[in-house]
A and B are shown apart, each in its own frame.
Chain A
Amino acid sequence: MRALQTERLVKQVKHTYENVVPYRKKMQEKGVEPGDITSIDDLSKLPFVNKDDLRDEYPHGFRAVPLEDCVRIQSTSGTTGRRVVAFYTQADVDLWDECCARAIVAAGGTKEDVVHVSYGYGLFTGGPGLNGGSHKVGSLTLPMSSGNTERQIQFMTDLESTILCCTPSYAAFLAEAIHEAGLIDRIKLKAGIFGAEAWSEEMRRNIEKNLRIKAYDIYGLTETSGPGVSFECEEQTGMHVNEDHFFAEIIDPDTGEALPEGSKGEIVFTSLTKQAFPLLRYRTRDICVLSRKECSCGRTLVKMAKPMGRTDDMLIIRGVNVFPSQIETVLLNQGYPANYLIILDRVNFTDTFEVQVEMTEEMFSDEVKFIEKKESELLAALRSMLGISPAVKLVAPRTIARSEGKAVRVVDKRKI
């Protein structure tokens, strides 16, 4: 494996240096040349790439091949400011499909299976990723996308879906709806591949019990390709990293120093094979641990633990990435004070998301309909910025703590 990784890294560094100007500059600033990288062990000589770098170079800065060689884009959720557009050549799509196919196979999938994909399709990578993986396995693929629960259940029973792919919270929701409809005995599911948001072991057991399946975790991010960077096997003790394509390191988030196996730190990925959007040492901000302990499934790919938190203030709410600063921007644009409180909780395995906003003289009226109109304008602006709808609660002025030093902006009551 290390020989393959070395061979691929050497090639990838050269490709990136020649074609990605901002990364070439980073290497020059660090005094590193492609020739200095002769082995995977030299990886730590390379500079990191941050989300801010990608944002600053939006949309084309990190694209490494001519547009005519690209066949697809996917994009992260979030604002225009925070958005990242990832490009794919046909080979990039193929390797992504391959990674997702491995996840499906690890969950027991074969060409006999009916793979029910209820991740969103579109710019979000969930739907397209598992869709491609399922094609590669040769399974019958149901491109359901998210929402329309009644139709989801109808197809699940009529077409006898065997593997469900969606966010864990949607799986829990579907399970509940299936039981309410009294249709659990007509469900043929045997496994589920759930990712894009944090979920607890308790939630896994609950979904497994209610859907009578085995539930597998999957991990990925748009910047590296999408889901399938790592995936769980039947042992359910961490996710095997597809390290022939994505090399994983753990670093100290403060010093950037690479840490030995078993240390807790920020997980950093280097895409060894991607052509159009080859990120070297991409900082995910996810806190994680890597383990090379032997796995009973026989795979020798390194395993990463479920991410244990973030090094930045990003929140994952119902599978969507939310930065508190986005909420601040909307409030300021809409004429509210930039004083707000985000309250997150998890009720029946679904995230609840409330934004408390202070009432102002300008927004106030003796007429309720005027205030409600302002409130719905704020809600629409938040929805369009975040891609997810919070509940807005108007509170009395000066009741939310002013920012003195580090203001508490988020109260996360979710037990994950």
Chain B
Amino acid sequence: MILEQISVFVENRAGAVADITQTLAEADIDIKALTLADTGDFGVLRLIVDAPKKALAVLKLAGSVASLTPVVVTSMGNEPGSVAKIARALADAGVSLEYIYAFVAREAGSAYAVIRVENAEAGDAVLLKAGYGEDFKL
């Protein structure tokens, strides 16, 4: 399925991530998954949350630069080779990954992958066709 990921600019300073996540906590936003991409001088925090539009609004209000990006979120097996399989399915269909990260949902005990591809709908269709249909419930 396609979900909206929220991406936030993180400046290279102690406490930058703490400030962003504090803002989300105060707005009672639940973070399902999170990854920080960093370069030498800045970072991009990417999150899957229960209320992305609200998260965007509160972060902007707090002065952050943030944006929403459609990403493919899919369940997958929780055993060795699971990520390889979905990555292969996308590769075989000629869909290239921009980035990918994984998380385990506490309720289901299943593993999920968040995949950024150029065209989220095309990527989602490839995975559905390959049998990765199970929806992720926020």
Q: A366-B46, A368-B39, A394-B42 are in contact. Are A361 and B11 (CB under 8 A)?
A: no
Does A397 lie within 8 Å of B65, measured CB to CB?
yes
Nearest chain-A residue to B62 (Cβ)?
A396
Nearest chain-A residue to B46 (Cβ)?
A366
Q: Does A344 reach chain B (CB closer than 8 Å)?
A: no
Residues of A359-386 contacting chain B, CB below 8 A: 359-361, 364-368, 371-372
0/1 per residue, B14-29, Cβ < 8 Å to A? 0010000000000000
| Chain B, interface SS category | strand
Q: Does A408 reach chain B (CB closer than 8 Å)?
A: no
Does B12 lie within 8 Å of A393, measured CB to CB?
yes
Does B37 lie within 8 Å of A368, measured CB to CB?
yes
Q: Does A398 reach chain B (CB closer than 8 Å)?
A: yes
Smallest Cβ distance from A167 to chain B, in angstroms?
Answer: 27
Q: For B116, what are the chain A residues with a Cβ–Cβ distance below 8 Å?
A: 366-367
CA of A396 to CA of B46, assembled, Å = 16
Nearest chain-A residue to B71 (Cβ)?
A366
Partner of A396, one of B9, B39, B67: B9
Partner of A372, one of B39, B66, B67: B39
Residues of B23-68 contacting chain A, CB below 8 A: 37, 39, 41-42, 44, 46, 63-67
Does A360 lie within 8 Å of B67, measured CB to CB?
no
Smallest Cβ distance from A42 to chain B, in angstroms?
Answer: 57
Partner of A360, one of B12, B46, B65: B65
Q: A371-B42, A371-B44 are in contact. Are A365 and B65 (CB under 8 A)?
A: no
Q: Does B98 reach chain A (CB closer than 8 Å)?
A: yes
Q: Does B74 reach chain A (CB closer than 8 Å)?
A: no
Nearest chain-A residue to B98 (Cβ)?
A367
Does A394 lie within 8 Å of B98, measured CB to CB?
no
Does B63 lie within 8 Å of A364, measured CB to CB?
no
Q: A366-B116, A394-B41 are in contact. Are A399 and B11 (CB under 8 A)?
A: yes
Q: For B16, what are the chain A residues with a Cβ–Cβ distance below 8 Å?
A: 396
Q: Does A332 reach chain B (CB closer than 8 Å)?
A: no
0/1 per residue, A103-132, Cβ < 8 Å to B? 000000000000000000000000000000
CA of A136 to CA of B18, assembled, Å = 65
Interface size on B, residues (CB 8 A): 22
Sorting the interface of chain A by its residue count into under 10, 10 to 19, 20 to 34 or 35 or more gives 10 to 19
0/1 per residue, B92-134, Cβ < 8 Å to A? 0000001100000000000000001000000000000000000
CA of A308 to CA of B88, assembled, Å = 66
Nearest chain-B residue to A362 (Cβ)?
B65
CA of A398 to CA of B69, assembled, Å = 24
Q: For B7, what are the chain A residues with a Cβ–Cβ distance below 8 Å?
A: 364-366
Partner of B63, one of A360, A371, A396: A396
Does B64 lie within 8 Å of A396, measured CB to CB?
yes
Smallest Cβ distance from B20 to chain A, in angstroms?
Answer: 10
Nearest chain-A residue to B41 (Cβ)?
A393
CA of A394 to CA of B65, assembled, Å = 12
Q: For B11, what are the chain A residues with a Cβ–Cβ distance below 8 Å?
A: 359, 394-396, 399
Nearest chain-A residue to B116 (Cβ)?
A366
Residues of A11-42 contacting chain B, CB below 8 A: none
Q: For A392, what are the chain B residues with a Cβ–Cβ distance below 8 Å?
A: 41
Q: A359-B9, A393-B12, A395-B11 are in contact. Are A368 and B44 (CB under 8 A)?
A: yes
Residues in chain B within 8 A of chain A (CB atoms):
5, 7, 9, 11-13, 16, 37, 39, 41-42, 44, 46, 63-67, 69, 98-99, 116
5 contacts between A and B (CB under 8 A): A364-B66, A365-B67, A394-B41, A397-B64, A397-B65
**What would 6 more interface pairs be, CB under 8 Å, given A366-B116, A393-B12, A396-B9?**
A360-B65, A364-B66, A394-B11, A395-B13, A396-B16, A396-B64
